[in-house]
Amino acid sequence: MCVTSSSGAGDGAGPGAAVARLTGRPVTGERRLSAALTEVGLDGGRVVMAKRGDGDGAVRAEAAGLRWLAEAGAVRVPAVHGADGRWLVIDLVPRGRPSAAAATRFGRDLAALHAAGAPAFGAPPPGGPVEAFIGRAPMRNVPGTDWPRWYAEHRVLPYLRRAVDDGTVRPAEAAVVERVCERLPELAGPAEPPARLHGDLWNGNVLWGADGEVHLIDPAAHGGHRETDLAMLHLFGCPHLERILDGYQEAAPLAGGWADRIGLHQLFPLLVHAVLFGRGYAEQALAVARSALRR
Q: pLDDT tens track of the chain, all 295 residues?
A: 333 333 333 335 699 999 999 999 999 999 999 989 999 999 999 999 999 988 778 999 999 999 999 999 999 999 999 999 899 999 999 999 999 999 999 999 999 999 999 999 999 999 999 999 999 999 999 999 999 999 999 999 999 999 999 999 999 999 999 999 999 999 999 999 999 999 999 999 999 999 999 999 999 999 999 999 999 999 999 999 999 999 999 999 999 999 999 999 999 999 999 999 999 999 999 999 999 998 7
Q: CA–CA separation, 40 vs 164, rounded Å?
A: 42
Angle at the Cα of 285 from the Cα atoms of 280 and 287, rounded to 5 degrees: 95
Q: Which of 109, 200, 218, 229 is catalytic?
A: 200
Report pLDDT for 128. Answer: 93
Q: Residues with Cβ < 8 Å from 253, sequence gap 6 or more?
A: none
Q: Residues with Cβ < 8 Å from 131, sequence gap 6 or more?
A: 57, 138, 140, 141
Residue type (1 letter), 131: E
Report pLDDT for 6. Answer: 38
Q: Pseudo-torsion of CA 278, 284, 289, 290, nearest 10°?
A: 120
Q: Residues with Cβ < 8 Å from 63, sequence gap 6 or more?
A: 80, 83, 88
Q: Does domain 15-91 have CATH number 3.90.245.10?
A: no
Report pLDDT for 2. Answer: 32
Closest-CA residue to 235 (of 202, 259, 268, 208)? 202
Residue type (1 letter), 266: Q
Q: CA–CA separation, 103 vs 210, rounded Å?
A: 14
Report pLDDT for 54. Answer: 83
Structural domain boundaries in the chain:
15-91, 100-293
Report pLDDT for 295. Answer: 79
Report pLDDT for 8. Answer: 39
Residue type (1 letter), 59: V
Q: Residues with Cβ < 8 Å from 97, sequence gap 6 or more?
A: 208
* CATH node for 100-293: 3.90.1200.10
Cα distances (Å, whole numbers) of residue 134 to 92, 97, 269, 270: 21, 26, 9, 12
| CA neighbours closer than 13 Å in the CB half-sphere of residue 219 | 31
Q: Answer yes or no: 218 catalytic.
A: no
Report pLDDT for 1. Answer: 33
Consecutive H or E run containing 229:
helix 226-236
Residue type (1 letter), 225: H
Report pLDDT for 82. Answer: 94
